[in-house]
């Protein structure tokens, strides 16, 4: 009767047994109330915080692919004492002109007179420039913060008494005699169009910050967070003001302002719900020694085979368009992980209650006797290796047997 076929069948039958833990039901309201309260708290935390607030059922993707196209419009004038007025248009004050995500709007320039490569006295502000005699000027020496290579002669500055080392370089050197042109008069009126399109590859979701349905409205609209959200045309004055900066000061010393476009999209909703949020922040450390933002560039000319240049130190407002995005969409894995965590956590409640039960309510061990069903070694025939523990346990557990015991 105990053939291999039967054994195999037995295995299979055992495989189909359903096992469920045996449970002690403690009829005790107080404990029950505690138990249910703990469970309630845990459930509330998960349903409300994890799933509703934190959207624990969504997979998230950060850092979308992004492309930014900018276009500045506007025109301004600058007054150069003595040289009269100058008109600045886009081709002149936007650097670089290509309309990328980082560009500078020049607000002030300091122009040196036409320079050529020759010898002239070093600027008195340069280090190791001042000299008493030619002995102070090492021929061929160059100081990294100077303007050229020392010839070794010590010469008078144009403005008379003061003497500095003569250098070979682009002369005349940049010094206090530079002409400052400020075109900030109309700059706050300049408008900046920012076209931004993003793409979340994981979710295959693309969107732009321009409403392509409405046709020509881009021609006249300006941005407003409520009425004209999909019209990303910003007045420079508006940007600076939103960043909490003083325009005049900024235009004077220059600075960098970040236009942060933040896409926070819940892709379980309609795509139209995924709207860009614009924020503006100054990015260069303001209260600091080398404050402000400026850079030097030169325009090169050639006249009867000799090259000359105009050196321009440009102060400006640099706009950094920073795109930041996050998208969330329902996904099984995070959902199930959070659900499993919830289940486990609910279980935690019983730890607490078991402890209460067995510590405070356990009058002459009535609960522990029913909960714990002790089995000790000497129930096995193996009398070998009887240790102090088994002895002990036998002793202290003997009385229990009557209460619970099926003596084998």
Binding residues: 71-73, 191, 294-296, 313
Please report how close the Cβ of residue 206 comes to its own copies at its closest, in angstroms: 8
Sequence-distant (≥ 6) Cβ neighbours of residue 294 within 8 angstroms: 253, 254, 313, 314, 315, 316
Q: Is 44 in the site for its own copies (CB under 8 A)?
A: no
Q: Which two three-digit tokens encode residue 233? A: 């045309």
Q: Is 153 in the site for its own copies (CB under 8 A)?
A: no
Which of 350, 360, 398, 399 binds its own copies (CB under 8 A)? It is 350
Nearest to 95 by CA among 260, 254, 302: 254
Q: Is 69 in the site for its own copies (CB under 8 A)?
A: yes
Please report how close the Cβ of residue 160 comes to its own copies at its closest, in angstroms: 26
Q: Is 384 in the site for its own copies (CB under 8 A)?
A: no
Which of 66, 128, 180, 241 binds its own copies (CB under 8 A)? It is 66
Q: Is 392 in the site for its own copies (CB under 8 A)?
A: yes
Q: How many alpha carbons lie under 13 Å from residue 179 in its C-beta half-sphere?
A: 16
Q: Which of residues 95-124 bind its own copies (CB under 8 A)?
A: 95-100, 102-104, 117
Angle value at C-alpha 121, between 290 and 179, nearest 5 degrees: 55
Which of 203, 238, 247, 295 binds its own copies (CB under 8 A)? It is 295
Length of the chain: 408
Binding residues for ATP: 71-73, 191, 294-296, 313
Q: Which of residues 254-273 bind its own copies (CB under 8 A)?
A: 256, 258, 260, 262
Site string for its own copies, 79-98 (x = CB under 8 A): ------xxx-xxxx--xxxx
Which of 145, 159, 224, 249 binds its own copies (CB under 8 A)? It is 145
Q: Are strands 255-266 and 306-330 parallel, antiparallel or unpaired?
A: parallel
Beta-bridge mates of residue 396: none
Q: How many alpha carbons lie under 13 Å from residue 78 in its C-beta half-sphere?
A: 21
Residue that has been written with the tokens 């440009």 in this structure: 314
Please report how close the Cβ of residue 153 comes to its own copies at its closest, in angstroms: 16
Q: Which two three-digit tokens encode residue 389? A: 């523990």
By C-beta, is 161 or 300 nearer to its own copies?
300
Q: Which two three-digit tokens encode residue 297? A: 């560039």
Q: Is 345 in the site for its own copies (CB under 8 A)?
A: yes
Q: Is 222 in the site for its own copies (CB under 8 A)?
A: no
Spatial separation of the C-alpha atoms in residues 225 and 233, rounded to whole Å: 11
């Amino acid at each position: 009767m105990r053939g291999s076929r039967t054994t195999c069948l037995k295995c299979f039958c055992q495989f189909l047994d359903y096992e469920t833990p045996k449970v002690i039901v403690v009829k005790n309201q107080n404990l029950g109330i505690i138990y249910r309260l703990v469970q309630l708290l845990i459930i509330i935390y998960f349903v409300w915080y994890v799933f509703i607030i934190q959207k624990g059922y969504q997979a998230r993707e950060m850092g979308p692919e992004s492309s930014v196209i900018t276009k500045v419009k506007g025109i301004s004038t600058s007054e150069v004492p003595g040289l009269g007025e100058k008109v600045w248009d886009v081709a002149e004050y936007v650097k670089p002109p290509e309309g990328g995500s980082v560009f500078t709007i020049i607000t002030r320039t300091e122009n040196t007179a036409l320079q050529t490569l020759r010898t002239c006295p070093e600027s008195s502000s340069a280090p190791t420039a001042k000299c008493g005699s030619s002995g102070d000027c090492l021929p061929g020496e160059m100081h990294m913060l100077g303007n050229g290579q020392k010839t070794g002669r010590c010469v008078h500055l144009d403005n008379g008494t003061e003497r500095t080392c003569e250098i070979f370089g682009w002369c005349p050197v940049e010094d206090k005699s530079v002409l400052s042109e400020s075109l900030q008069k109309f700059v706050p009126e300049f408008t900046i169009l920012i076209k931004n399109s993003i793409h979340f590859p994981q979710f295959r979701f693309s969107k732009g910050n321009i409403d392509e349905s409405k046709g020509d409205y881009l021609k006249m609209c300006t941005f407003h967070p409520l009425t004209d959200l999909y019209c990303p045309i910003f007045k420079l004055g508006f940007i600076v003001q939103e960043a909490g900066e003083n325009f005049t000061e900024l235009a004077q010393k220059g600075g960098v302002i970040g236009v942060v476009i933040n896409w926070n999209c819940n892709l379980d909703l309609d795509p139209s719900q995924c709207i860009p949020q614009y924020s503006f922040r100054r990015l260069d450390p303001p209260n600091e020694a080398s404050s402000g933002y400026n850079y030097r560039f030169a325009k090169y000319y050639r006249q009867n085979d000799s090259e000359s240049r105009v050196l321009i130190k440009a102060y400006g407002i640099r706009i950094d368009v920073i795109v930041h995005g996050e998208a969330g969409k329902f996904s099984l894995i995070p959902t199930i992980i959070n659900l499993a965590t919830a289940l486990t956590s609910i279980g935690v409640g019983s730890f607490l209650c078991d402890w209460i039960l067995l510590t405070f309510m356990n009058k002459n061990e009535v609960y522990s006797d029913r909960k714990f069903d002790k089995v000790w070694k000497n129930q096995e025939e193996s009398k070998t290796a009887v240790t102090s523990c088994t002895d002990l346990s036998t002793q202290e557990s003997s009385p229990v047997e009557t209460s619970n015991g099926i003596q084998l």
